Structure 1
Amino acid sequence: MRRPLRVLVVTLALLVASAGCSGGGGGTGDAVWQPRPGLDWQWQLDGPVDPSVDVPVYDIDGFENSAADVARLHRDGRRVICYVNVGAWEDFRPDRDDFPRSVLGRPNGWRGERWLDIRRLPVLRPLMERRFDMCRDKGFDAVEPDLVEGYANDTGFPLTARDQLRYNRMIADIAHERGLAVGLKNDLAQIPHLLEDFDFAVNEECAQYDECGRLRPFTAAGKAVFHVEYAEPRAEFCPVARELRLSSMLKKPELGPWRRPC
């Protein structure tokens, strides 16, 4: 009786995970996964992934997790998002020496990271293609490209909003070419221009800065918004999150396993 019960549990988990989703992922040739508003999620970028959280979506580091980690989450009925930094160079990544010095800008405030000159599309495209190949080959369903609003920061380069739109669309194209869904991380000002290019959004602290309403176009289009707060009490941001159909939770800034969802 134990084996059939396990099959039944996995089958039910898969149905739950796909209830708000459409399409496949991971470069299988199926339609790109489309996460729907309100899906619960886990975002863990620090430490070995804890697979015990009972949610349909996990967002984990693409470099630090293996194909076996992704497969385990899939067996439990999860969709899995691949976190990749596309806006800054990181001195701790295995491909760090592939980036020419000419594209490295000022430090971005995170240890070992420097902004990238996103105007240099012919240089950066093959580097990002290889990173997204990694996500696809490990079986991920989607990518979370981080730091896609360099134009609004002191990068050391004269970046414009148009430069950022061109780069972000290139990033979305690279993901879609590999059968991966792709999320727009923060970059609230450019949502009206990028909504059609991205399949979901990832946001940090929109409640703290009274900006959650700017994410409404995503949920209105039937696209999930995966949202976290670090300092705001849940009693303050959860009512707004529910009204806007955001997938919201409280996390600690180091993004370990701990979470408190709405």
Structure 2
Amino acid sequence: MHSGFSSSQRCATSPKPADRDFRKRSNLGEVQRGDSDIWAGEKWLDVRGFSRTATGKIATIRSVMGARLALARSKGCAAVEPDNVDAWSNDVSQNAPAGTPRNAVSASDQLAYNRWTADAAHAQGLSVLLKNDLDQVADLQDVYDGALNEECFDFTGDCFLLKRLRDAGKAIYVVEYHNAGFATAARKAQASQLHLNVILTDPDATQLDPYARFGTW
């Protein structure tokens, strides 16, 4: 097992292009985690139809996101973690275009997009980490090089959903938004068991140095 990449080598990619027309045509609602945690201005990418076609809107998404991966490579990134790749299991209707269903994205379209993203990253010579989307780990473990998860310790059983990646010898990073006191003996033992690389930081991730690290680092 290994931790794999330094933080300076991992780069995040999310659909936030400057092209206003692209954003209007290819986005759903604002990202919302929980009942009130809304990320204003951050949109779910509309990947509906990704499993069935490579033309029109889907071709544009491939072009824009492919360019972002190429940019990551040009900046010296060794790995990327495409963000917001679990629209299928979230409410995407928050401040969305009129008539957008809460669960607009199907599991099959999400899988198709996530697999394409992994393949496109590899084509650029980049490793790729799965960001959250724990319910599709079994279907994606073969195409991703590891995972970056947020707060799996805060939800009973979530950390164990990453076990398939551990068993495949792939790097697993976990970010928890808690102070150093969160690193209890029990959590350290679980992190070691699952080969997790855990970092504790503030909710806005503004800490230059983490509160603590534990696990496989």
> Residue in 1 aligned with 2:120?
174
Q: Which has the higher contact order (CA 8 A, sep 6+)?
A: 1
Task: Report the alpha carbon displacement of residue 96 of structure 1 after superposing the two structures with TM.
Answer: 4.0
> Residue in 2 aligned with 1:258?
209
Contact 1:143–1:175 at 8 Å: present in 2 too? yes
Contact 1:218–1:224 at 8 Å: present in 2 too? yes
Gaps of 5+ in 2: 32-37, 49-56, 94-99
1:105 maps onto 2:28 in alignment: yes
Partner SS state of residue 154, structure 1: coil
> Residue in 1 aligned with 2:54?
none
> Residue in 2 aligned with 1:45?
none
Count of residues in correspondence between the two structures: 185
Tell me which amino acid in the other structure corresponds to 2:81. Answer: E
TM-score scaled by structure 2? 0.79
Task: Report the alpha carbon displacement of residue 100 of structure 1 after superposing the two structures with TM.
Answer: 4.4
Tell me which amino acid in the other structure corresponds to 1:146. Answer: D
Q: Among all aligned residue pairs of Structure 1 and Structure 2, give the percentage whose two residues are the same amino acid.
A: 35
TM-score scaled by structure 1? 0.66
> Residue in 2 aligned with 1:9?
none
Partner SS state of residue 147, structure 2: strand
Structure 2 CA distance, aligned partners of 1:213 and 1:111? Answer: 31
1:254–1:129 Cα change, 3 Å: same
Say which of 37, 40, 44 aligns to 1:115: 44
Deviations 1:161-193 (A, max 9, x none): 101000001111110110000000110000000
1:206 maps onto 2:152 in alignment: yes
Task: Report the alpha carbon displacement of residue 137 of structure 1 after superposing the two structures with TM.
Answer: 0.8
Deviations 1:52-110 (A, max 9, x none): xxxx6115xxxxxxxxxxxxxxxxxxxx0111114xxx4xx5x3436241222111121
Partner SS state of residue 82, structure 2: strand
Tell me which amino acid in the other structure corresponds to 1:238. Answer: K
1:100–1:233 Cα change, 3 Å: closer
> Residue in 2 aligned with 1:139?
76
Structure 1 CA distance, aligned partners of 2:193 and 2:116? Answer: 32
